[in-house]
Amino acid sequence: MQRVISVLAISMIFSVAFLIGCAVKSTPQIGEKFMSTSKILFNIETDKQLDVSKMKDWDIIVDPDAIPSEKYAGEEFQRLFKEATGMMLPINSKAQGESNHVYIGKATSEKLGEEELMVIVNKDSLIITGGRPRGTLYGVYQFFEDAFGVRFLTFDHTYIPKSTDVKIPVGEFRYNPPFLFRWSYYAENSKEPEFAARLRVNTVTHAEKLGGVTPQNLINHSFHWLLPFDKYGAEHPEYYALFEGKRDTETGGGGPQLCVTNKDVIRIVAENAISYLDQHPNMRNISVSQANTARYCHCDECEAINKREGTPMGSQLAFVNAVAKLIEQKHPDVKVGTLAYWYTRKAPKTIKPRHNVQIQLCSIECCTLHPIDDPTCEKNRAFCQDMEEWSKICNDIWIWNYNTNFRYYDLPFPNLRVIGPNVRYFLRNNAKGVFM
């Protein structure tokens, strides 16, 4: 059991490390080395360096107007710096004199994204700042990973090399994570939100101290609440899928599916989605997506589109586009997410997602022994064909990746060597969100 736990823990660390760490769209390499030691910050050659051994009389400056996650970032800097160097720097709210200060969350005229971070290294000062609410806190963790080689391995164990002779290149470094939505679904992240924050999982806690969550939400099945069968089924059976010659009444898996070419269905689903968004004004995406069943509509109108488009995704995507167009009129900043899953994984021949539509592919059929971009693996080759077709027509792709064996949860899952290459592959193909 001990081994199982440690394998799971390592697997989790890798999944989140790769989610935050995909700094650049690198040249594709099949099955890239699974353990990356590359840095996001400080990748320059320079003789000018901040000598950490000279910092013992410095202090940490956190502005009194800092938000909770920036104040916590100051405390985290203090704690990690003490562990790494033995030097305990005091936290103050105002700088005395020009030099020998670490500024955490310093105001900047730069326009930074909500997780974008900036680290400015001088010989006599250090600034770690970022967009609100998570940029500064994530900046502190990135700083310690890249400057000191710190690794956040489990919630109760952080690997901190003891070092007083670290030298950090002088310069200005900036980073905006390419994945907006990062959810590593291992239990330790949910149970230990402070640990999740260290790994920059931005989906598990609303705690302000930890920067809260991204306003993007996991894309998931939603027909069951956008057009509840309980509410509309008796009076309007025609709203639901025609399956095996009858209007479906099967509610398993969040069914029945909808008749997606029915004009009233389009209108009501859009109205219900808009009303939900009115009540949740911070949401930046909403799921409009098929139920978890293969009993999709086979009426003449739906089937005509599917036949023409070469996939049941034809009618589904036409529907999602129509709903997304109506939602945009009231909520222009909200995206509409839908699943490309199972029988809808393949992109249609001619219908493209609207600019406000997100497509979430699901890798449930994939092999986890080989990297997803390994051309010798037949199962994975089929997934890549679909993903690459989608990436030509959509710049906001999400992935529901499978990190466990749903039949035997306790078995080790042999994906340690593929998480890194897989995440990099997703990034090269326009992925903006990953759930794994």
Beta carbon nearer to Zn ion, 89 or 297: 297
CB of residue 242 to Zn ion, shortest distance in Å:
6
Beta carbon nearer to Zn ion, 326 or 377: 377
Question: Is 160 a residue that touches Zn ion (CB under 5 A)?
Answer: no
CB of residue 256 to Zn ion, shortest distance in Å:
11
Asked if 32 and 197 count as a contact pair (C-beta separation under 8 A), the reply is no
Beta carbon nearer to Zn ion, 87 or 382: 382
Beta carbon nearer to Zn ion, 217 or 293: 293
Beta carbon nearer to Zn ion, 155 or 343: 343
Binding mask 25-64 for Zn ion (x = CB under 5 A): ----------------------------------------
CB of residue 356 to Zn ion, shortest distance in Å:
24
- Positive/negative CA dihedral, 106, 107, 112, 114: positive
Segment interacting with Zn ion, rule: CB under 5 A, options 180-188, 323-331, 332-340, 363-371? 363-371
CB of residue 294 to Zn ion, shortest distance in Å:
15
Cis peptide leading into residue 256 (ω within 30°) = yes
CB of residue 343 to Zn ion, shortest distance in Å:
15
Beta carbon nearer to Zn ion, 10 or 369: 369
Alpha-carbon gap, residue 346 to 363, rounded angstroms = 12
Tokens, residue 350: 């001619």
Contacts of Zn ion in 184-213 (CB under 5 A): none
Alpha-carbon gap, residue 380 to 125, rounded angstroms = 49
Residue nearest to Zn ion (CB): 367
Cis peptide leading into residue 193 (ω within 30°) = no
Asked if 419 and 399 count as a contact pair (C-beta separation under 8 A), the reply is no
CB of residue 297 to Zn ion, shortest distance in Å:
3
Q: Which residues pair with 242 in a beta bridge?
A: 247
How many chain residues are in contact with Zn ion, going by CB under 5 A? 9
Beta carbon nearer to Zn ion, 119 or 322: 322
Please list, in sequence order, all residues whose beta carbon lies within 8 angstroms of the beta carbon of residue 111, skipping any fewer than 6 positions away: none
Binding mask 281-300 for Zn ion (x = CB under 5 A): ----------------x-x-
Beta carbon nearer to Zn ion, 87 or 377: 377
Question: Is 335 a residue that touches Zn ion (CB under 5 A)?
Answer: no
Question: Is 302 a residue that touches Zn ion (CB under 5 A)?
Answer: yes
| 368 closest CA partner among 122, 11, 24 | 11
Binding mask 370-399 for Zn ion (x = CB under 5 A): x------x----------------------
CB of residue 239 to Zn ion, shortest distance in Å:
9
Asked if 239 and 227 count as a contact pair (C-beta separation under 8 A), the reply is yes
Segment interacting with Zn ion, rule: CB under 5 A, options 35-43, 68-76, 114-122, 366-374? 366-374
3-state secondary structure of 222: coil
Beta carbon nearer to Zn ion, 5 or 369: 369
Please spell the DSSP secondary structure of 254-302, one letter per residue: G-PPB-TT-HHHHHHHHHHHHHHHHH-TT--EEE----SSS----SHHH
Please spell the DSSP secondary structure of 76-131, one letter per residue: HHHHHHHHHHS--PPEESS--SSSSEEEES---SS---TT-EEEEE-SSEEEEEES
CB of residue 420 to Zn ion, shortest distance in Å:
16
Neighbour tally for 246: CB within 10 Å: 10
Beta carbon nearer to Zn ion, 181 or 240: 240
CB of residue 71 to Zn ion, shortest distance in Å:
48
- β-strand pairing of 242-243 with 246-247: antiparallel
Tokens, residue 211: 């920067």
Q: Which residues of 14-29 are buried (b: 16+ CB within 10 A; e: fewer)?
A: bbbbbbbbbbeeeeee
Question: Is 367 a residue that touches Zn ion (CB under 5 A)?
Answer: yes
Beta carbon nearer to Zn ion, 294 or 377: 377
CB of residue 302 to Zn ion, shortest distance in Å:
3
Tokens, residue 85: 């160097």
Contacts of Zn ion in 209-268 (CB under 5 A): 259, 261
Report the interface residues with Zn ion, using CB under 5 A. 259, 261, 297, 299, 302, 367, 369-370, 377
